[in-house]
Amino acid sequence: MNKAVLLGTFWVATLGVAFYFGFLSRDPIAPEYQEMLYEQLMEEAEDRERLKKERMEEEEVAAIHGMSIPDSAGYGHSGAIQLDFQNIELENQNKEPLTGDRIREILGPALVSSDLVGRNAVIADMLSRLTPENALHALNIFENTPSSYHTDNNFRLFLHAWAKVDGASALAYIMDNPDAHRVEGGHVWAMSGWTASDPQAAYEFVTSREKIDHGLYHGLVRGWGRIDLDGAHEFVATIKDKNLRGRMTDVIGESVVEKRGVQGALEWLGQLDRKDGFTQAAYNSVVRRAVPRSSNSL
């Protein structure tokens, strides 16, 4: 196994070096080279995605097989939102906001449920009905629930959704409240949500702060890239702090791969001005996300 991993790592490193020198020596990247590399990357990406999907399906079956929902009888009255994803409407159009009592009724049991599929569906439904008013009820539930891997992930999603409906309050809670319930990357998720709904207010909040906060900039650029990738790229190009600009160029590269795919990302790399000093950061960002490192990264 170790030998196979070592050979795989050596192969990936060789490919990366070859691509790097090819990238630097061509202006722009030759179309035939783009096509060849694209096909190779796509074949490996498909294999990686297939193996990852198989593993996830096996883990989900093992996690929920034979398990019942804790205390489901206590909230099983007519009209209740059960922890059954098949009965949840995930479309958020024409949905009424949930009351504070209803949020307390469903969110608490969901956060301690061992049915990962059901709990995530219930939480997704709740987040789609979030308002500035009922968000505080949901926040209270999270604050009083013990931290765990899945609960922390759910809280990040909550911060993102809360910031979309009330960005100023969500960020004030995270940044100014010393007793805030904290998870790693929470401010990044919140900032991304705020940018998606009110980019101008989010931009002013981030750029007006006395000290540079890389996490806030990350969330701003990530959210901006989802609604206006070219605008986000132009903004990053104006950043004077070299360290910050390098980091945000990496974030832009991630967004380019996400929105345009590998082929589009390669074309984007070929259009960059290599004299600005940040082409290397963009290249690293694209290659890191396009080329699988090894089978251990699945």
Q: Would you call 149 exposed, middle or buried from its count of C-beta atoms within 10 A (0-12, 13-18, 19+)? A: exposed
CB atoms within 10 A of CB 225: 26
- Selected residue with higher pLDDT from 152 and 73: 152
- pLDDT per residue over 145-161, tens digit each? 999 999 999 999 999 99
Q: Residue 62: is it exposed, middle or buried by C-beta count within 10 angstroms (0-12/13-18/19+)?
A: exposed
Domain boundaries in the chain? 2-63+149-297, 67-145
Residue 293: what pLDDT? 44
Q: Are 276 and 242 in contact (CB under 8 A)?
A: no
**Looking at residues 201-218, what average pLDDT do you find?**
95
d(CA 140, CA 120): 18
Percent of the chain scoring above 90 in pLDDT: 46
Owner of token pair 């399906």: 57
pLDDT surpassing 70 at residue 250? yes
Closest listed residue to residue 270, CA positions, set 97, 2, 38: 38
Residues 6+ apart with CB under 8 A from 227: 195, 196, 199
Is there a contact between 285 and 249 (Cβ–Cβ < 8 Å)?
yes
Which single residue is written with the structure tokens 């909040």? 205
